[in-house]
Amino acid sequence: MRITRMISAVDAHACGEPGRVIIGGVVDVPGKTIFEKQKWLANHGDDLRKRMLREPRGYPASNCNLVLPPTHPDADAGFVIMEQTEYPPMSGTNTICVTTVLLETGMLPMTEPVTDLVLEAPAGLVPVRAEVANGKVTRVTFTNVPAFAVHLDAEVDVPHLGKLRVDVAYGGMFYVITDAEPLGLRLSPDEGREIVRVSEMIKAATREQLPVVHPENPEITGVTISQLSAPSTHPDAHLKTAVTVSTGILDWERPGTWTGALDRSPCGTGTCAKMAVLNAKGELALHQDFHHEGILGTIFTGCLVGETRVDPYPAVIPTLSGQAWITGFANYVVDPDDPFPNGFTIGDIWGQTE
């Protein structure tokens, strides 16, 4: 066989959001911390992200995770998160998928009925508790990095939409959050194209008008993801959410080229950011479960378990619970004669091509 660069991966999804987990083919990458390893991949090894997330091996809503040896003595494993346009410091769905894969494949020992472990994400250490029954991870609860609101009820002037009231908060990534109702949206699956279109416009305007920098890590900058909120349609949920993950470049000169894909889940770090906003507005107390419904009707359960400070911002410590399911095992390869070794995008579903 004439193949090179074989990557072994396990495919999974957390409440609908796909999270591929690379478990073989990359021994390690340079860096003293997982964040430094993430930066090395972004600057020197980005071909891996493109190869695994673009066609023909991926698609616009794909995510991928690279499992690496931990750099912190308290961690059991490290992982770098890869999305279509960025390397997020933290991701809830990917944490749930990585935990499930590590335990259900035997890469880390599983103890029933509860397995406790610590993962090292680029954003820092993430304590995880997995509930286990008959060899299956039935629920993953992790303690996220501190979440905090930066802007509350700020005004953003969005071209083609007008002035909107938005919140900006950090839950592992910087989110812009606004209500769907003034935009005429209910957050139903049939509205997916319009949700993505307006969300990308709101995100781009917010990045320009409300710059943000993480006070403890100046390399984490700018709003990179957009979230719409609406009343829940599930009887067990408090609110409904639709989070848009960018897949391409926004071009103001060509209306209709805003490219993105909906997070199929209720979004883990997005739920944490929303809880930080609700707490800052006095609408969500500590130790109160918050059930967040996604576009598919699946639910993540969040809870604020403490208060802290990420100077100059008051912050909260969130936990997030959900479940993942393994969907497949695969070895991905590159033929030396393949004209697209790192994949490709086409404007029919990607919006713009590279």
CA–CA distance, 302 with 141 (Å, rounded to integer): 9
Tokens of 302: 């969040």
Alpha helices in 77-177 (DSSP H): 92-104
Question: Catalytic: which of 91, 199, 226, 321?
Answer: 91
Q: Show the tokens assigned to 7.
A: 């990557």
Q: Which amino acid is at 221?
A: T
Report whether 83 contacts 65 (CB < 8 A).
no
* Eight-class DSSP state of 43: H
What is residue 183's DSSP assignment? G
Percent helix, strand and coil across the chain, each rounded to 5? 20, 40, 40
Backbone angles phi, psi at 98, to 5 degrees: -60, -45
Q: Is 265 a catalytic residue?
A: no
Question: If phi over 0 gives left and psi between -120 and 50 gives alpha, with beta otherwise, what is residue 279?
Answer: alpha
- List, by residue number, the catalytic residues: 91
